Structure formats: structure tokens, C-alpha cells
Structure 1
Amino acid sequence: MAEVLIISGSPAAPSSTDALLEHAGAHLAATGHSGSLLRARELPGEALLAGDTAHPQLAAALDRVAGADAVVLGSPVYKATYTGLLKAFVDLLPMDAFAGKPVLPFLTGGSPAHVLALDYGLKPLAVTLGATHVADGRFVLSAAIDKHVDPDAGGPTLTDPKVADDIHAALAAFEAELDLRAPAARLARRHQEAAS
């Protein structure tokens, strides 16, 4: 199945965004996809701000993006858009970093007033990075997420059943896209491995 990279632009820990992304990752894993979480806040700050792509941790993070079949992109809303931390990371990516990769965007925030940041911030970012398929993402109120739940304990991360249903619908549509693209992605990966 698909190798999904889940990128969090949240600078906080614990984080509602991370809790939502961990929930999404568990859901994807339950349907046979493999997912790994890349937290931008865990990258070395000085190297990140300096754009030092030769730094081993940054180089490894960029390789993870390149090797992924698909991307789930998440951030809290800061100043009406995604975080500067996420911006610092994506600024290091090549312009075609998401080419051929379906992208599912998620934003979290404290007020419904920020819902448009999804369509005017995060989705255009994915397109700028070459995504040809940007799934219908979701803006989720932080109050609907329990950021203190251990995802391995199996507790409910999403405290509002309607929100949970909506998130699961978004994930199901994304998984359907992954299933359609999986054979082509595997074939492309085999060609890449054979060439190197």
C-alpha cells in the first residue's frame, strides 16, 4: 500500500494538531497504508532557519518527503494561515516536491473564523509544491480534539462524534485516491530503486 508522510507544522507539545495527525495516521494504518509523522519542531532550528539542507537531520527529512507516495499536511492556524515553522520547512523543498503525490491538508484552530485558511493558505501551498490532487481537507476546532490522549492507548482523540465522522469521511476519500494510485506509485518506486 501507500507510504504516507504526515507532516506537522505545530510548534507546541502537546499539540491538538499532532493529536489529529496521529489519529489520521492510525486510521491510515488500519486500512493497510504505512504512515510516519514528521514533526517540523523536532528539526534542528538553527539549520532549519539557515536553510542548511546538508544538515543530516534536514537531509533525512527531505528524503522522507521525496520517498513518500502521499502527504498529509497539518498545522494550527497562526495569524490567519499555517505556521511559520511549517513555512520554514517547506521553503527547503523543491518546487515539485509533492508532484504525483496526493495531499490531504488539515488545519486546527480555536475559532471557526479561521476556516478559510484551509482554502486560502494550506491548499495553495500544496499546489505550489506540485500536488496534482489536493484532497478535501478539514479545519478542526481545537476544542474537538483531546491532545492529551495517548494514540497507542486507543482512546478517543476526537471528542465530538460529528467531527470524528467528518474526519473519517475525509480520510476514506483520501484512502480511495491512494488505492487508485498505489500500483503506479509502487512501479515508479521500483524504477527509481533500479536506477540508483
Structure 2
Amino acid sequence: MATILSVSGSPSRTSRTTRLLRHVDGLLAERGHTVLPFEVRSLPAEALLAADTSHPEIAAALELFERADAVVIGTPVYKAAYSGLLKTLLDVLPQYALAGKAVLPLATGGSTAHVLAVDYALRPVLSSMGAGHITQGWFVLDRHISLREDGSTLIELGTDAQLTPVVEAFALAVERRTEPVLVH
């Protein structure tokens, strides 16, 4: 099975975007994939802003992208675009860091007015980074992501019903790209 890097571009410690990603991570893990959760906000700000690729934590983040067979990228939408924190990371990555990889773009926001941010803001930059296959992205309203009393994430039933096939299509794309080729 594949190694999938799951990247949260949210600057918030209590991020609904990160909660959504961890929910998606669980769906992918159930299919047998190894999921590597990663929060951009965990990187040292000074090294990230200076694009210091020699800094051990920045170098480790670059290695995660290199190692991954596929990437899930999640971001909150601010001002009709992906987060500045995510943009900073994408700027530090090599030009073709996503070459040959399947990518699932996800976004969260407070209004459906931001739903096109996935296709008009995030998808073009992922494509410019050489993504091998960008699957259908998905936008989730913040209010459809909540926290249960036990600390687990609850995705509104209708939203989860729409999200699940998007994640399954991504998983199938990943599986097709990572299947061993049998030679007879």
C-alpha cells in the first residue's frame, strides 16, 4: 500500500481543517495505507519564512514530501484563497515536489462563497508543482465539523456522505499509481 502525507495548512491549534484531515486519514488507513499526519504550523516560523532548507525541521518536512507516494493537502480558506502558512511551505518546496504524486486538495471555510477556492486558488499551484494526478477536491463548511465530548471528530452526516466518495476516488487513484506491475 501507499505512504500518504496528510498536510494541514492551518495556523490554528484547534483547527477544524486539521480535524477534517485526521478524519480523512482514518478512512485512508482503513484501506491499508500508511498515513503521515503533518501540521505546517509545527515548523519553526523563522526557518520557514527564511526558506532555510538546511534547518533540520524544514529538511525533515522536505523529506516527508519526497518519501510520500501521495499527498492530501488541507487548508482553511481566508480571503478566497488557501492559507498564507500553506503558501509559505509550498514556496519552500522544490518546484516539482509533487511530481508523479496523486494529490487530494481539501478546504474548510465559514461560507459556501469560498467553495471555488479549491479549484481556482489551490489546484493551479499544485498543478504547477508537477502533481501527477489531482483528484476532485472538496470544500467543507466549518460548522459541519465538530468535536465530540470524547475528543473525537464528528463530521455532519450529509457532509460525510459526500466526502467519503471523494476520499475513495483519491484512494483508488493512489492504489492505481502504486500497484506493482506484473511482468509475465
TM over 0.5: yes
Secondary structure of 1:29's counterpart equals helix
In 2, distance between residues paired with 1:46 and 1:143? 33
The CA deviation at 1:183 is 2.5
In 1, distance between residues paired with 2:111 and 2:55? 37
Secondary structure of 2:100's counterpart equals coil
The CA deviation at 1:149 is 4.5
Which structure has greater helix proportion? 1
Identity %: 46
2:165 maps to 169
Deviations 1:147-188 (A, max 9, x none): x348xx694520x21100111110110111111112359xxx
Deviations 1:25-55 (A, max 9, x none): 0110011001011100000000000110000
With the length of structure 1 as denominator, give the TM-score of the two structures.
Answer: 0.88
Distance 1:134 1:83, change over 3 A: same
Query: Where does 1:108-187 land on structure 2 (aligned, <5 Å)?
Result: 108-146=108-146, 148-149=147-148, 155-158=152-155, 160-184=156-180
Q: Answer yes or no: is the 8 Å Cα contact 1:19–1:149 preserved in 2.
A: no
Gaps of 5+ in 1: 186-196
Q: Answer yes or no: is the 8 Å Cα contact 2:19–2:153 preserved in 1.
A: no
The CA deviation at 1:132 is 2.3
In 1, distance between residues paired with 2:123 and 2:85? 17
Equivalent residue letter for 1:163: T
Equivalent residue letter for 2:122: L
Secondary structure of 2:92's counterpart equals coil
Secondary structure of 2:121's counterpart equals helix
Which structure has greater strand proportion? 2
In 1, distance between residues paired with 2:177 and 2:158? 29
Secondary structure of 1:121's counterpart equals helix
Distance 1:37 1:111, change over 3 A: same
With the length of structure 2 as denominator, give the TM-score of the two structures.
Answer: 0.94
Number of residue pairs the alignment of both structures matches: 181
Structure 1 residue runs of 4 or more that deviate by more than 3 Å after TM superposition: 153-156
